[in-house]
Homo-oligomer: A and B are copies of this chain.
Amino acid sequence: MVTLAEVAQHAGVSASTVSYVLSGKRSISANTRQRVERSIRELGYHPNAGARALASSKSNIIALMVPLRTDMYVPVMMEIAIAVATSARAHGYDVLLLTGEEGPDAVRRVAGSGIADGMILMDVELDDERLPLLRETDQPSVLIGLPADTSGLTCVDLDFRATGALCVEHLAKQGHQDIAVIGEAPAVYERHTGFAERTLEGLRSRSRELGVRLLHRPCEGGYDAMAVTLARILDERPGTSGLIVQNESAVEPLLALLRQQGRAVPEDVSVVAICPDQVAMQASVRLTSVAIPAQEMGRHAVDHLVAKLDGRGSDEVVLIAPELTVRGSTGPAPSRS
């Protein structure tokens, strides 16, 4: 292993000079800098992470806590995680992957051991048990998701309230009067995951404002569950002409069922999905959808965390504005017979 001291010797300078060349924290003559850089290259020097962390009290690591559960749409989580890792690298940080398994203890461990300079929490619940700890420690952090009480916290999320409103608006504008929402799995609501409830709020309040009728049914996802849910919806509200789906694993089954029942999309029934663009575009019908901007969320989270670590940055809630893309799955409501 090649050390800073060896580089210094090879370049004929002192250790501190090499250190300063690396950090750029004081001016170095062009000549010296070049000699040092050359030595670094020739010897294949890499600063030792542990030593650096010890001396500087900075690990250049960001901890990312992902949920252990898999009842949420996994590709979105993965996309966020990868976006976080990629953005972090761009800022010179590595990412430590923590699973939800340790729960709140992970927060204690990370903060206590100084293994990471800050942390990003995904899949935050409305009343998340990790938050009290987070507020106690001075560990800078950013949440992806919105808890009930955001005081003293920095949060990044899609504006799900606006998302719900946007979906209803789009359908109402096309004349749909009876709209049904196929939601996430019941467990998601029971856990009081913020995004699911906020979407629902947006859906409800906007439909009240616009005077359209709204029915919401959670759905486990998969073909069988979707079949039951759809049957129940059409039974209760036979006039339903607009569907909003917020559960990726229900999308394709829903389309298959509608096809099977001879209901044409969008002639008989319009479908709006809340899902990643990829899902909307790969489905058997090009879906009008509001995208989940996974990459953007990951990137924002890192940017804000890095800002905090640099002493800039403040506690704030960043809600990303939803965007609805019209594709082939929505159209005018069929005339009432």
Binding site for B on A (CB under 8 A): 1, 44-54, 59, 61, 64, 66, 68, 70, 74-75, 77-79, 81-82, 85-86, 89, 94-99, 101-102, 108-109, 111-115, 221-223, 249, 252-253, 255-256, 259-260, 278, 281-284
A54 touches B48 (CB 8 A): yes
CB distance from A80 to the nearest CB of B (A): 11
Contact of A223 among B45, B52, B249, B283 (CB under 8 A): B283
Residue contacts A-B, CB under 8 angstroms, 22 given: A1-B114, A46-B108, A46-B112, A46-B113, A49-B115, A50-B59, A64-B97, A70-B78, A70-B79, A70-B278, A78-B81, A85-B97, A86-B99, A94-B96, A94-B115, A95-B96, A221-B282, A222-B281, A222-B282, A252-B253, A255-B256, A256-B256
| Residues of chain B contacted by A282 (CB below 8 angstroms) | 221-223, 249
A49 touches B44 (CB 8 A): no
CB distance from A285 to the nearest CB of B (A): 8
- Please indicate which of the listed interface residues A79, A96, A108, A115 has the most CB atoms of chain B within 10 Å of its own CB: A115
CB distance from A271 to the nearest CB of B (A): 14
Contact of A78 among B74, B111, B115 (CB under 8 A): B74
When C-beta atoms are compared, the residue in chain B nearest to A55 turns out to be B50
| Residues of chain B contacted by A221 (CB below 8 angstroms) | 282
Contact of A82 among B45, B61, B68 (CB under 8 A): B68
The 3 closest A-B pairs by CB, nearest first: A46-B112, A50-B53, A223-B284
| Residues of chain B contacted by A52 (CB below 8 angstroms) | 50
| Residues of chain B contacted by A89 (CB below 8 angstroms) | 99, 101-102
| Residues of chain B contacted by A54 (CB below 8 angstroms) | 48, 50-51, 53-54
With known contacts A82-B66, A284-B253, A98–B94 Cβ distance under 8 A: yes
Contact of A113 among B48, B82, B113, B114 (CB under 8 A): B48
| Residues of chain B contacted by A46 (CB below 8 angstroms) | 108-109, 111-113
When C-beta atoms are compared, the residue in chain B nearest to A108 turns out to be B46
| Residues of chain B contacted by A278 (CB below 8 angstroms) | 70
Q: How far is the CA of A115 from the CA of B86 in the complex (A)?
A: 18
| Residues of chain B contacted by A284 (CB below 8 angstroms) | 223, 253, 256
CB distance from A293 to the nearest CB of B (A): 15
| Residues of chain B contacted by A68 (CB below 8 angstroms) | 82, 86
A112 touches B44 (CB 8 A): yes
Apart from A46-B111, A77-B78, A223-B284: 19 A-B pairs, beta carbons within 8 A: A48-B113, A48-B114, A49-B50, A49-B53, A49-B115, A50-B54, A50-B59, A53-B54, A64-B97, A68-B86, A70-B278, A74-B74, A81-B97, A85-B98, A86-B101, A89-B102, A96-B96, A221-B282, A223-B283
